[in-house]
Amino acid sequence: MTTGRVNPAFTLDEQGINGLGNVYYNLLEPALIEEALKRDEGALGKGGALLVSTGSHTGRSPKDKFVVRTKDVEDTIWWENNKPMAPEAFDVLYADMIEHMKGKDYFVQDLFGGADPAHRLDVRVVTELAWHAQFIRTMLRRPALTELDSFVADFTIINCPSFKADAQKHGCRSETVIAMNFEKKIILIGGTAYAGENKKSVFTLLNYILPGKGVMAMHCSANHAPNNPVDTAIFFGLSGTGKTTLSADPSRVLIGDDEHGWSDRGTFNFEGGCYAKTINLSAEAEPEIYATTSKFGTVVENMVFDPHSKELDFEDNSLTDNMRCAYPLEYISNASPTALGGHPKNIILLTCDAFGVLPPIARLTPAQAMYHFLSGFTSKTPGTEVGVLEPIPTFSTCFGAPFMPRRPEAYGNLLRDKIAKHGATCWLVNTGWTGGAYGTGSRMPIKATRALLTAALDGSLAEVEFRKDENFGFDVPVAVAGVADILLDPRRTWGDKDAYDAQAEKLVSMFSENFEQYVAYIDEDVKAAAIG
């Protein structure tokens, strides 16, 4: 039996996926929540939020992600960063997953990836769990009901958490698998209920497709000045660096919190929702994001709550540090109704420095910006990936290596060319540790970070005195109104100055060693900006 609105020429049966139980096409939020509750997939929280657990997988499983090695992508995939799967293994995996699905109920959502119609990806997401359908419906762009009557997907994602892969039979690593087949335009996800795999699969697709069209795909948040989309800012960064928090600025219009494109027409959000971390979220510091956790249809993942009152505990990380909520963009009062912006006027590279060495903000030349973009230095924060229990310093090229199918230079050169064409001021912002490394120092005060960003975006920071950082060569402000001067000079925040010098030397060495892999592919100006 089928329920819901769908293009009759593009049902699952027409795609060759048959023998299922009930198939629910494009149910809206109330019906999806009803189905999730009926199937005991979660609990109804305050205000109509849906409270769910993702089970043993509370973060992404990047080691279980594969790209099928077909002829059409053989020469364009960055294989050092993307594990290959043989086409024959994928075919067996697909057949076994479809067989496993037979007789069971499934939920289908037909959605858009991309707010700009000229560059969007039409995606069908088939999910075993009703709450996964609600999640992805929240996170992607939602077509008008009339558009569903003629919808035909560019790619189909099939997500079946109850399916367990066979590593030997299916050419993967474990019972968990995320397999992307660009030739057959299918993604298979099995053995994990972590909903973030759905959205990051779409992001990975766009990261492959758009650069081939001259469009920059970016792991970033974005906002613009009120009534002035020309004054757009983008914030590159991995999970835990502050992309969502810092872009949700009440004095600016939110374009989106995580994934964007930069075309010849400007900036556009890939998504229709936000996926915010909720650990230690407070009504005082982040009132609007906090408020979404008790709004209808918000999906609240892996949070401890009182079984009687449904009060959420924002400090209890016994399930995971990676507790999150997914909510539609319109739940943020200053969100852009179009999710479109202009060409970025300011580009912010966010890093979470667990060494406690980097300053809270530094101004970069275009060459330095490309150097730090390719380097992608940050710290993986607890819970965002399986096995990450404390901040781990890492270099994740383009601030999103797990989602980059192409070689880093493809993205770096696009960014360089767009900065040169449109002009942008570039900043490196450290939201990590100050006064010492992780375990000794403390996290950078968010009020200071916000004050520095405000000064950068309104242009006043360009007027202050800067000093040249002796370790990294970028410009650092000496004094900024509303920010303690000592924070701007990391060495002064350390009680043991020799320990700081040793940490700085260690970090410079890590930068230098990591960047060796790019030297053969970059221009002389970027080589000159290299550290160490």
Of the residues 119, 243, 252, 363, only one is catalytic, namely 243
442 near 433, Cβ under 8 Å?
yes
Task: Give the Å distances, CA to CA, from 81 to 78, 217, 259.
Answer: 6, 17, 20
Does 308 qualify as catalytic in the annotation?
Answer: no
Place of tokens 């043993």: 56
Of the residues 53, 57, 60, 298, only one is catalytic, namely 60
Does 241 qualify as catalytic in the annotation?
Answer: no
Does 200 qualify as catalytic in the annotation?
Answer: yes
- DSSP code string of 453-478: HHHHHTSGGGGS-EEE-TTT--EEES
Does 244 qualify as catalytic in the annotation?
Answer: yes
DSSP H or E stretch at residue 23: strand 23-25
Residue 523 contacts by C-beta under 8 Å, 6 or more apart in sequence?
Answer: none
> In terms of DSSP H, where are the helices of 153-293?
167-170, 196-209, 243-247, 287-292
Q: How far apart are CA 61 and CA 188, in angstroms?
A: 14
323 near 333, Cβ under 8 Å?
no
Of the residues 221, 244, 245, 320, only one is catalytic, namely 244
188 near 53, Cβ under 8 Å?
no
Does 243 qualify as catalytic in the annotation?
Answer: yes
Burial class (CB in 10 A: 0-12, 13-18, 19+), 217: buried
Q: How far apart are CA 267 and CA 14, in angstroms?
A: 36
Does 63 qualify as catalytic in the annotation?
Answer: no
DSSP letter for 21, please.
S
Of the residues 324, 372, 380, 407, only one is catalytic, namely 324
**Beta strand residue intervals within 39-176, DSSP E:** 42-44, 50-52, 65-68, 83-85, 106-113, 121-127, 155-160
Strands in 42-44's sheet, in edge-to-edge order, are 42-44, 50-52, 299-301, 324-328, 273-277
Catalytic residue set: 60, 200, 219, 239, 243-244, 258, 324
